[in-house]
A = this chain, B = another copy of it.
Amino acid sequence: MTNSNHDEDFMKQALKEAYKALDADEVPIGAVVVMNDKIIARGHNQVETLNDSTAHAEIIALTSAFNFLGSKYLPEATLYVTIEPCTMCCGALYWSKIGKVVYGSADPKHGGLSLLNSSSKKILHPKTKIVKDILAEQCAFLIKDFFKKKR
């Protein structure tokens, strides 16, 4: 499991992924998967590029991590993602049995943990630790600025 002192460093790497999404005119969300203090997988939102409404940063990073490790479970890994995962991504994280999820800014509209707060213990695996509000302002700024310019 990743030491919490490194959370900001790895969130910066997730932000770097979010900027890749921004460059491609995608909703700017990024994610990295970390194990033993090393990044083993990266992902950024590619919904438009892949014409796939499920191609979220977390899903792409998880699939890449499964491939890298040759394992369908990630109990020793941590996912860093700039925005709170949606219901779908929380479900994917549940199945992955990931050790820890660290997210930047909350998403009151689509966030799986915010939406289903009363049953939040069900939406992630009971052994998965959750850390929030890491570089929250930087993570939220990217999204807000993106949608402001779209209007």
Residues in A lying within 8 Å of B, measured CB to CB: 47-48, 50-54, 59, 62-63, 66-67, 70-73, 86-92, 94-97, 112, 115-116, 119, 122-123
Q: How close is A138's CB to chain B, nearest CB, in angstroms?
A: 25
Q: Would you call B47 and A72 a contact (CB within 8 A)?
A: yes
Q: How close is A105's CB to chain B, nearest CB, in angstroms?
A: 19
Which label, helix, strand, loop or mixed, suits the secondary structure of the A interface?
Answer: helix
Q: Would you call A72 and B92 a contact (CB within 8 A)?
A: no
User: Can you name the residue of chain B whose Cβ is closest to the Cβ of A62?
Assistant: B54
User: Can you name the residue of chain B whose Cβ is closest to the Cβ of A71?
Assistant: B51
Q: Would you call B92 and A54 a contact (CB within 8 A)?
A: yes
Q: Which residues of B contact A94 (CB under 8 A)?
A: 87-88
Q: Would you call B51 and A70 a contact (CB within 8 A)?
A: yes
Q: How close is A63's CB to chain B, nearest CB, in angstroms?
A: 6
CA distance A49 to B88 in the complex (A): 22
Q: How close is A119's CB to chain B, nearest CB, in angstroms?
A: 6
Given contacts A116-B119, A119-B115, A122-B115, contact A53 B87 (CB under 8 A): no
